[in-house]
Amino acid sequence: MQISRRAFTNTLAAGAAQKPGTVYDVAVIGAGVFGAWTAYFLRRRGQSVALVDAYGPANSRASSGGESRIIRMGYGSDEIYTQWSLRSLSLWREFFRQRAEVLFHRTGVLWFGHANHAQSRESRRVLRKFAIPFETLDERELARRYPQIQVQPGMIAVLEPDSGALMARRCVQALAEEAVRAGCAYIPAAVSGPAGKGRLDSVRTLHHDAIRAGLFVFACGPWLGKVFPDLLGSRIFPTRQEVFFFGVPPGDARFAPPAMPVWIDFSDPRGPYGFPDLENRGFKLAFDIHGPRFDPDTGSRLVNAKGSAAARSFLAGRFPALTEAPLVESRVCQYENTSSGDFLIDRHPDFSNVWLVCGGSGHGFKHGPALGEYVTARLLDGDPVERRFSLATKERVQHRSVY
């Protein structure tokens, strides 16, 4: 089943009516992947939920609004993210079966680099520990199996056959639609940051309407620093990230599944990664290195000549058959980084019933289901917060440690 724009819009509109005087159990501010999954799980636990977003689920400004996102299990020695990815993949696939939609492409994920690369070595150890299937390919096997990749001497690769690509924009739209169908109210509104301290009774929209709730979850992505400028303005780092789609040669199946998996190149310090030609949109390429600071409301969404040249140069060296490939699409999105790359999931220090959920840091999309479960358990069951997700660990200088 494909989500039609009309059906999606009509479903959200049906959930947008807020009766005067309504007090929700929980108001979730932000309908990206973190907010949508949180609202979805809260509703499944019987909570009355308002899901609020300024521009709409999976809008073009949102970090969750891109065409595709990687889901992989390899995270070096960071076992918590391997476990969350494993849990999330199961939940994503369960959700897609319920929807009878193809929103996950099991392309496999191939990450390659030099034989002494610590991230690869630790990832293999953790994958073995959790019995996650993978293959290790030496230089000769990598070149034999993927001749379209220019292999460097001494390179090795790891293939996760069960991992792949999530169709991000449509995933978030489907989640929001299901949350509304299950009884969540969807409110299209921008919310101003609350003032004071103690217990928050309501938040105000920019049109001065009040949204009342017992608990509030601010899952605003790159906007969270704007909503809470004194607390988070210098602890959330939105960065400009350019993404390129190149047209593959006509009739050439080498750059589409199953011949081509999702891939990550750990041999290059810029962190190149990409996707095969999914659903005929082109061969996707981007760099994981953080760009300059970016305003998600007003920043230019046009890629620049320097970025395009870097992408084309990398493409020529690693995928020679695409040297002359035309650029068929490009976009500028953003990461919302924390100082370490760990998520921020914690109670607001000044409001007893306000939670902060943010910091996808370029790798968060895949974890949406596990994160939604985690946040729901904190709100409803009082489970403790993992220290590395706490506000206390978020610094004002970046020292990235999660890849």
DSSP letters of 216-269?
Answer: EEE--GGGHHHHSHHHHTTT-EEEEEEEEEEPPPTT-GGGSTTTS-EEEETTST
Residues 6+ apart with CB under 8 A from 317: 150
In order of their start, the domains of the chain are: 5-64+169-236+339-393 (3.50.50.60), 105-165+238-333 (3.30.9.10)
The amino acid present at 213, given as its one-letter code, is A
Q: Which residues lie closer than 8 Å to 277 by C-beta, 6 or more apart?
A: 248, 255, 256, 260, 283
How do 344-347 and 262-265 pair as beta strands? unpaired
Strand partners, 158: 111, 136
C-alpha span between 237 and 121 (Å, rounded): 30
Radius of gyration of the chain (CA): 21
Query: Burial letters for 298-337: b for 16+ Cβ neighbours within 10 Å, e otherwise?
Result: ebeeebeeebeebbbebbeebbebbeebebeebbbbbbbb
**Distance (Å, rounded) from C-alpha 133 to C-alpha 304?**
40
Q: How many CB atoms are located within 10 Å of the residue 21 CB?
A: 7
CA–CA separation, 128 and 132 (whole Å)? 6
Residue 159 and residue 79: Cα distance in Å, rounded? 18
Please tell me the predicted confidence (pLDDT) of residue 145: 98
Dihedrals phi, psi of 81, to nearest 5 degrees: -75, -30
- CA distances to 165, 237, 259 from 403, rounded to whole Å, are 17, 16, 26
Q: Classify 207 in phi/psi space as left (phi over 0), alpha (psi -120 to 50) or beta.
A: alpha
Residue 198 CB-density burial (10 A; 0-12 exposed, 13-18 middle, 19+ buried)? exposed
pLDDT for 1: 47
Q: Which helix (H) or strand (E) holds 278?
A: none
**What would the pLDDT profile of 215-244 be if each residue is shown by its tens digit?**
999 999 999 999 999 999 999 999 999 999
How confident is the model at residue 10, as a pLDDT?
72
Helix (H) or strand (E) holding 109: strand 109-114
Secondary element (H or E) of residue 309? helix 305-318
- Please report the pLDDT score of residue 4 as a whole number: 60
Place of tokens 């034989």: 115
* Average pLDDT, consecutive stretches of 10 residues, N- to C-terminus, the chain (403 residues): 62 67 96 98 98 97 96 97 98 97 98 90 97 97 97 95 98 97 97 95 94 98 97 98 98 97 96 97 97 97 97 98 97 97 98 98 98 98 97 97 95
**DSSP H helical ranges for 15-54:** 33-44
CA separation for the pair 391, 363 (Å, rounded) = 19
